[in-house]
């Protein structure tokens, strides 16, 4: 038994509280690792020189305060308590100010949705008029809790070649609601979840709210570190793995087919499910990347697939869909209905007609052409102007670049504040980690909200700060 558990007691404070405080300090300082098994009650009592009841009360206090969790038959395990992400709220406040005040003089490298100048407003107005002429009041008052049936049929036909049952397609209000619905349906308190490191902050918030035990695994250039991933599977019963298979947010990496197949194999072997957030996969700029999501390769019905139309089509009127495995169909349907009774029926009907009439495919083609120009310009400028300060993986698609500082002489939060004072907004890496300090020296910049001139100005200002 290690000496780190030994403690000199003070008379005024109950012993179990002092022991618990010592263990919390060890966990916070990473002397006890997240997920590490704590000594048995009898063993720890013997080492410290107290009775078993004292250690029972110690472990009960640790569990109540979020510093430990128990596995029936296996013992008690350390759980590093998440730091309250104060900066996340502050960052959101600034981000909202950009939108609310319409500050056109700023350089917004933080925005992720398409610029209003690219929204096909005239086309969409004509589609809405066609829907109203065709369906009348039904377009406004009819509610279908699982989603407009014709939209579900069109999604199946246009995107999945009629390989799905429409009963397994649910319409939701964007990817965030999709993650929330999936989590409510399959994750219980103290279930174990694996996420990529880093990952989408909105997903982390959902899993924390479900009080799941979160395991992080580092990303490589073609997906998650499989060796480290399987080590966790061998030692823990995992309920699900959350992944962004294309142009991962924030890193921009896309999974290789080999890693997808291996993860699907592991899902079957170790009995867990994959929540696939198919993020921005329409925006592929290089022919070497083929769109073949986990769900398309899924032979054992292990994937809950989530797709949003919000980022590239309807930012303000949130729409997306979930494909459910048969085993979770009813629980996901109930979770959807309990979350909201129905999603906007007019917008669903308009989207269905927009897709069916071929407008959607044409719009995506237009966006790819326009965004590819910005992607190429921003990538070239990063190499030329920032190459001595940062390293990055070329995403070959999507809307963002993720930059890691070579020298740790400024944190991403400090850089955020310095650039904000010059009218440039970036996204600090701390937003994307369970423990914010892990993102201190990385940041994301995107080109969705900036034209070519602002890209040049913004990169120049970043270079000034870094040098």
Residues 328 and 312 grouped into a single domain: yes
CATH number at residue 457: 3.90.1150.10
Please tell me the total count of domains within the chain. Answer: 3
Q: Do residues 332 and 192 both lie within one domain?
A: yes
Q: Are residues 421 and 314 in the same domain?
A: no
Q: Is residue 205 part of a domain?
A: yes
389 shares its domain with 426: yes
Q: Return d(Cα 251, Cα 223) in angstroms, integer.
A: 10
Taking residues 444-467, what's their average pLDDT?
A: 94
The domain boundary, picked from 333, 358, 383, lies at: 358
Distances (CA, A) of 202 to 36, 158, 199, 296, 431: 26, 29, 9, 25, 9
Relative to beta strand 68-71, strand 75-78 is antiparallel
pLDDT, tens digit, 9 for 90 and up, residues 114-173: 666 677 778 888 989 999 999 888 888 777 889 999 999 999 999 999 999 999 999 998
Q: 396 and 247 share a domain?
A: no
Q: What is the share, in percent, of the chain residues with pLDDT greater than 70?
A: 92
Angstrom distance (rounded) from CA 444 to CA 98: 17
- What pLDDT band is residue 1 in, cutting at 50, 70 and 90? low
Residue 180 shares a structural domain with residue 323? yes
Q: What is the pLDDT of residue 84?
A: 44
Whether 370 maps to a domain, the answer reads: yes
Same domain, 208 and 299: yes
Residue 92 sits in the same domain as residue 51: no
Q: Is residue 324 part of a domain?
A: yes
With both helix axes pointing from N to C terminus, report the angle between 452-466 and 359-381 in degrees, rounded to the nearest 10.
30
Give φ, ψ of 179 to 5 degrees: -65, -40
For the chain, what percent of residues have pLDDT higher than 90? 59
The pLDDT of 425-435, averaged and rounded, is 91
What is the mean predicted confidence (pLDDT) over 25-36? Answer: 84
Is 95 found in the same domain as 65? Answer: no
Residue 316, pLDDT score: 65
Write down the pLDDT at residue 122.
Answer: 82
Please write the tens of the pLDDT for every residue from 281-326: 999 999 889 999 999 999 999 999 999 988 777 666 679 999 999 9
- Per the document, the length of the chain is 467
Assess whether 36 and 95 both reside in one domain.
no
Of 300, 325, 358, at which residue does a domain stop?
358
Task: Check pLDDT > 80 for residue 66.
Answer: no
Q: What share of the chain is helix, strand, coil (3-state, %, to 5)?
A: 50, 15, 35
Does residue 383 have a pLDDT over 90?
A: yes
Asked whether residue 417 is assigned to any structural domain, the reply reads yes
- pLDDT exceeds cutoff 60 at 83: no
Higher confidence at residue 261 or residue 85?
261
Full domain range(s) for residue 382: 86-111+361-466
Any domain includes 124: no
**Pairing relationship of beta strands 68-71 and 442-446 according to DSSP bridges:** unpaired
Q: Which of 315, 332, 358 is the last residue of a domain?
A: 358
- Please work out, in degrees rounded to the nearest 5, the angle formed at the alpha carbon of residue 156 by the alpha carbons of 152 and 161: 165
Residue 323 lies in a domain: yes
Instruction: Look up the CATH number of the domain holding residue 58.
Output: 1.10.10.10
Q: Are 167 and 241 in the same domain?
A: yes
Q: Is 445 left (phi over 0), alpha (psi -120 to 50) or beta?
A: beta
Q: Of 168, 189, 182, nearest to 243 (Cα)?
A: 182
pLDDT per position as a tens digit, 184-239 = 999 988 899 999 999 998 899 899 888 888 999 999 999 999 999 999 999 899 99
| 155 in the same domain as 66 | no
CA distance 426 to 413: 10
Is the pLDDT at 82 greater than 80? The verdict is no
Stretch (H or E) spanning 97:
helix 86-101
120 occurs within a structural domain: no
Domain assignment of residue 381, yes or no: yes
How high is the pLDDT of residue 289? 92
- Beta strands (DSSP E) in 176-295 are 192-197, 213-220, 223-224, 238-243, 273-277
């Amino acid at each position: 038994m290690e000496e780190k558990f030994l403690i000199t007691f003070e008379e005024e404070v109950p012993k179990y509280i002092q022991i618990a405080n010592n263990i919390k300090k060890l966990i916070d300082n990473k002397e006890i690792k997240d997920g590490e098994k704590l000594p048995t009650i009898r063993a720890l009592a013997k080492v410290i020189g107290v009775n078993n009841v004292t250690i029972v009360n110690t472990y009960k206090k640790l569990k109540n305060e979020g510093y430990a969790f128990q596995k029936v038959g296996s013992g008690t395990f350390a759980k590093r308590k998440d730091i309250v992400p104060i900066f996340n709220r502050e960052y959101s406040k600034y981000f909202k100010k950009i939108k609310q005040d319409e500050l056109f003089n700023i350089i917004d490298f933080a925005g992720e949705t398409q610029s209003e100048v690219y929204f096909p407003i005239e086309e969409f107005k004509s589609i809405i008029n066609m829907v109203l002429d065709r369906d009348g009041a039904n377009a406004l008052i009819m509610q279908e809790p699982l989603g407009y049936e014709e939209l579900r049929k069109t999604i199946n036909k246009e995107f999945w070649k009629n390989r799905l049952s429409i009963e397994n397609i649910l319409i939701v209000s964007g990817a965030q609601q999709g993650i929330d619905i999936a989590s409510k349906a399959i994750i219980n308190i103290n279930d174990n979840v694996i996420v990529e490191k880093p990952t989408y902050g909105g997903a982390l918030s959902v899993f924390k709210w479900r009080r799941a035990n979160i395991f992080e695994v580092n990303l490589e250039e073609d997906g998650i570190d499989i060796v480290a991933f399987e080590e966790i599977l061998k030692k823990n019963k995992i309920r699900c793995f959350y992944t962004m298979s294309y142009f991962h947010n924030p890193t921009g990496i896309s999974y290789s087919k080999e890693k997808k197949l291996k993860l699907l194999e592991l899902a079957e072997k170790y009995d867990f499910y994959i929540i696939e957030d198919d993020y921005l996969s329409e925006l592929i700029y290089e022919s070497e990347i083929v769109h073949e999501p986990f769900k398309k390769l899924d032979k054992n019905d292990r994937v809950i697939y989530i797709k949003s139309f919000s980022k590239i089509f309807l930012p303000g009127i949130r729409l997306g869909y979930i494909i459910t495995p048969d085993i979770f169909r009813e629980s996901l349907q109930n979770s959807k209905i309990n979350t909201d009774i129905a999603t906007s029926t007019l917008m669903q009907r308009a989207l269905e007609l927009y897709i069916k009439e071929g407008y959607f495919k044409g719009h995506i083609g237009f966006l790819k052409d326009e965004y590819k120009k910005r992607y190429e310009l921003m990538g070239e400028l990063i190499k030329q102007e920032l190459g001595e300060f940062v390293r990055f993986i070329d995403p070959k698609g999507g809307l963002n670049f993720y930059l890691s500082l070579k020298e740790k002489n400024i944190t991403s939060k400090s850089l955020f504040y310095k650039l904000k004072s010059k009218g440039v907004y970036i996204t600090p890496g701390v937003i994307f980690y369970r423990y914010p300090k892990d993102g201190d020296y990385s940041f994301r910049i995107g080109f969705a909200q900036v034209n070519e001139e602002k890209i040049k100005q913004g990169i120049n200002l970043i270079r000034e700060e870094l040098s």
